[in-house]
């Protein structure tokens, strides 16, 4: 999608559906005209058939009536199909945009990771396919029905105008009394859902330490707040919905009485009396439907508001000109990084230059900024100052989908996705069997995969527990090595490995050295660092030492001898 102003995304989606809405409105014209079939049929039956006692006339009128209602039902079916396709078109237009914005927000603000945006998109789509939207198409035709009532008798027309005004005020009162409560209820529901999702991610911890009752109590309290606000809103909406329904039935009966009065005065025929009652009921029906569907409309409106807020915060990315494939040179210039949801820099004034094919070890105590360094270098976290350059170009100038295949990343927390082993290793692109097996062999996991029930076709994912932590880590390493990326970042790649896994990782480092890949490896274990070319020592978000491994090790040893209390983590 082109780079539009933020809140224009939804407006654009609706604009592209303009022809569909016009078609639905066109069908609504004929549907509402055919709605006159009932009143006109009753008018003819009472004033012509009953008076003439002609069964032949009754037969033909009945056949015409059945035909008209059949056509009307067909048109309503077509209109419904049009609206369903409009909603699907809107979903196709927005879903990928919303999905990417949702993930971008999750990167910028990890504490706001939620799939609520997709739920909101579904709420909008469902409202567009429900009966509530039909009321908005039918309301503009109210004046036609009321105009016909004026033709029957001016008293009928003015009575209908008064009834419409009263029902309109009921609709306004319903809106004003429930809008705030429904918005608050929706907000509380979102909070409760996000809390439940967060708890599910930590189900094992909650179960093992008996925390479920306490954490469930916190969720239940949030859920009860939502229920109370929704109950209050529903109670008020129920009052106005029932009032509207009651008033409409009263008005429809009163107009019969009014018609009977004018029939007695010979100013109206019995057919007009019956037809007028039916016609006024049809005229007021859209207002009644609006009131009854107002809660759904409010939910859709709130969903749209949250979507617009998300798309405002995360504007559509403009595509940059495609740059040449990176060769592996990395330059960090006076880098400053402030983690999401934090005001304190985790990295400050970092300067590092790495040539293609070099292997860099990154060490330091906890909270030294090692993982932040990796995230900033890969463009996961935005920089607050300075620059991260790959082959001279800033990371932000690369299109992520074009740079990604040349990057290998193994984070501390290994996430495998629902799919087969081969699909995970191939990063869910087109599976090249040769490249998959090559990556698995480099990671030393080929033999392990062959022992799985279906080898490379074995289903795995976030919701399966068939793999140990070490196995998941080694498959994640194979994914990072797929298709010979030029730059590889390994964050604690041996944290879950046994001795055999350590040896396999050591062999992997040697293979990557021979291939000329630029490798950054973060580790607390010194065994993996014997293969590296340079060592980067970090402390408190700054570079303490950087240079050839042996020189830095001597500097660390000298520092340790001089100041034991500042002994390095390595």
The total of structural domains in the chain comes to 2
The verdict on 437 and 549 lying in the same domain is yes
Instruction: Examine the pLDDT at 165 and tell me if it is beyond 60.
Output: yes
Of the residues 313, 340, 373, the one at which a domain ends: 313
Closest CA to 486 of 508, 441, 444, 517: 517
The verdict on 57 and 110 lying in the same domain is yes
pLDDT of residue 559: 76
| Tokens standing for residue 284 | 């007021």
CATH of the domain at 420: 3.40.50.300
Phi-psi region of 288 (alpha: psi -120 to 50; beta: other; left: phi over 0): alpha
Q: What is the pLDDT of residues 523-559, one digit of tens each?
A: 776 666 777 888 888 888 888 888 888 888 888 778 7
Least confident of 59-68, 139-148, 282-291, 437-446: 282-291
Helices (H), 153-211: 154-201, 203-208
Q: What is the pLDDT of residues 66-83, one digit of tens each?
A: 999 899 889 988 888 888
The verdict on 152 and 276 lying in the same domain is yes
pLDDT average, residue stretch 392-405: 83
Is residue 440 within 8 A of residue 452, CB to CB? The reply is no
For residue 540, tell me if it sits in a domain.
yes
Which pLDDT band holds residue 3 (cuts at 50, 70, 90)?
Answer: very low
The verdict on 278 and 366 lying in the same domain is no
Measured in whole angstroms, how far is the alpha carbon of residue 87 from the centre of its chain? 16
**DSSP readout, 518-554?**
EEEEE-S-GGGGGG-SEEEEEETTEEEEEEEHHHHHH
The verdict on 218 and 263 lying in the same domain is yes
| Strand order, beta sheet including 330-337 | 347-354, 330-337, 385-390, 393-394
pLDDT of residue 431: 87
Q: What is the enclosing helix (H) or strand (E) of 322? A: none
Q: What is the pLDDT of residues 214-269, one digit of tens each?
A: 777 777 787 788 788 778 877 777 787 788 778 888 888 888 888 888 888 888 88
pLDDT of residue 504: 79
pLDDT of residue 206: 61
Q: ∠ CA(129), CA(134), CA(136), 5° rounding?
A: 120
Of the residues 313, 341, 372, the one at which a domain ends: 313
CATH of the domain at 160: 1.20.1560.10
Domain of 446, in residue numbers: 330-566
For residue 421, tell me if it sits in a domain.
yes
Question: b vs e for 273-298, b when ≥16 Cβ sit within 10 Å of the residue's Cβ?
Answer: bbbbbbbbbbbbbbbbbbbbbbbbbb
The verdict on 370 and 308 lying in the same domain is no
The verdict on 387 and 521 lying in the same domain is yes
Instruction: Examine the pLDDT at 108 and tell me if it is beyond 80.
Output: no
């Amino acid at each position: 999608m082109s780079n539009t102003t933020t809140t224009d995304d939804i407006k654009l989606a609706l604009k592209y559906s303009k022809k569909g809405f016009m078609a639905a409105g066109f069908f609504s014209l004929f549907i509402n005209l055919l709605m006159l079939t009932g009143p006109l049929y009753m008018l003819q039956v009472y004033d012509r058939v009953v008076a003439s006692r002609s069964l032949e006339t009754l037969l033909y009128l009945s056949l015409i009536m059945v035909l008209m209602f059949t056509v009307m039902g067909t048109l309503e079916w077509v209109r419904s199909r049009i609206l369903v396709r409009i909603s699907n078109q809107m979903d196709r237009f927005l879903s990928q945009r919303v999905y990417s914005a949702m993930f971008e927000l999750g990167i910028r603000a990890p504490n706001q990771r939620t799939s609520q945006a997709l739920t909101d998109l579904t709420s909008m789509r469902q409202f567009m396919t429900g009966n509530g939207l039909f009321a908005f198409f039918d309301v503009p035709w109210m004046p036609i029905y009321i105009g016909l009532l004026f033709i029957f008798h001016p008293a009928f027309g003015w009575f209908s105008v008064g009834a419409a005004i009263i029902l309109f005020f009921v609709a306004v009162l319903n809106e004003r009394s429930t809008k705030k409560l429904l918005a608050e209820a929706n907000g509380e529901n979102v909070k409760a859902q996000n809390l439940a999702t967060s708890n599910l991610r930590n189900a094992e911890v909650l179960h093992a330490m008996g925390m479920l009752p306490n954490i469930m109590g916190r969720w239940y309290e949030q859920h009860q707040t939502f229920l109370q606000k929704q109950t209050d809103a529903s109670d008020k909406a129920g009052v106005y919905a029932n009032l509207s329904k009651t008033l409409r039935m009263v008005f429809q009966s009163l107009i019969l009485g009014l018609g009977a009065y004018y029939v007695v005065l010979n100013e109206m025929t019995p057919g007009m009396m019956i037809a007028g009652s039916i016609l006024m009921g049809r005229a007021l029906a859209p207002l009644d439907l609006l009131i009854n569907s107002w809660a759904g409309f409010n939910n859709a409106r709130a969903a749209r508001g949250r979507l617009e807020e998300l798309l405002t915060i995360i504007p559509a990315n403009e595509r940059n000109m495609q740059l040449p494939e990176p060769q592996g040179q990395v330059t960090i210039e006076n880098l400053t990084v402030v983690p999401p949801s934090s005001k304190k820099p985790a990295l400050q004034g970092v300067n590092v230059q790495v040539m293609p094919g070099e292997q860099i070890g990154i060490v330091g105590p906890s909270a030294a900024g090692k993982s932040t360094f990796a995230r900033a270098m890969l463009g996961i976290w935005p920089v607050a100052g300075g620059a991260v350059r790959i082959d001279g170009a800033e990371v932000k100038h690369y299109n992520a989908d074009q740079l990604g295949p040349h990057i290998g990343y193994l984070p501390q927390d290994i996430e495998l996705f629902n799919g087969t082993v081969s699909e995970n290793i191939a990063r869910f692109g087109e599976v090249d069997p040769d490249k998959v097996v090559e990556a698995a062999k480099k990671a030393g996991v080929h033999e392990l995969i062959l022992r799985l029930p279906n080898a490379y076709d074995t289903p795995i994912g976030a919701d399966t527990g068939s793999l140990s932590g070490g196995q998941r880590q080694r498959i994640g390493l194979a994914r990072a090595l797929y298709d010979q990326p030029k730059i590889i970042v390994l964050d604690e790649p041996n944290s879950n490995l046994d001795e055999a896994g350590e040896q396999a990782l050591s062999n992997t480092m040697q293979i990557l050295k021979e291939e000329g890949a630029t490798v950054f490896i973060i580790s607390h274990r010194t065994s993996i660092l014997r293969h590296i070319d340079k060592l980067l020592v970090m402390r408190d978000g700054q570079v303490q030492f950087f240079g050839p491994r042996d020189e830095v090790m001597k500097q660390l040893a000298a520092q340790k001898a001089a100041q034991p209390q500042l002994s390095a983590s390595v």
